[in-house]
Amino acid sequence: MAIFPYDPMKGVGGSLTKMKEMKPGEGGTIIYLNVEGDLDGVLSRIPAAGGTVLKGRTDIPPHGFIGIFQDSEGNVVGLHSMA
């Protein structure tokens, strides 16, 4: 398990948890992680880490930008940045 640091006054934290009864897959809920100010940098590192960028930097005005990738285990994850 990995727990994300958080400040209860500024927002919600979270965690990544591996459980044998849970299987990765497409078609479910997409969790978005905040990569404020480094969306392009994070997207550029995904292929070398074994993942696939499914949607590159995409403008979603007025809410900033997103990118979506699939990790090496098949999980689909979104990334968000205002910049």
| Stretch 12-36: mean pLDDT | 80
Per residue in 56-77, pLDDT (tens digit) is: 999 999 999 999 999 998 889 9
Per residue in 31-60, pLDDT (tens digit) is: 899 898 899 999 999 999 999 999 999 999
| CA separation for the pair 1, 18 (Å, rounded) | 7
Write down the domain spans for the chain: 24-81
Q: Which CATH number fits domain 24-81: 3.40.50.620, 3.10.180.10, 3.40.640.10, 3.50.50.60?
A: 3.10.180.10
| CA separation for the pair 62, 82 (Å, rounded) | 9
SS3 content of the chain, % helix, strand, coil (to 5): 10, 35, 50
pLDDT-based confidence at residue 83 (cuts at 50, 70, 90): very high
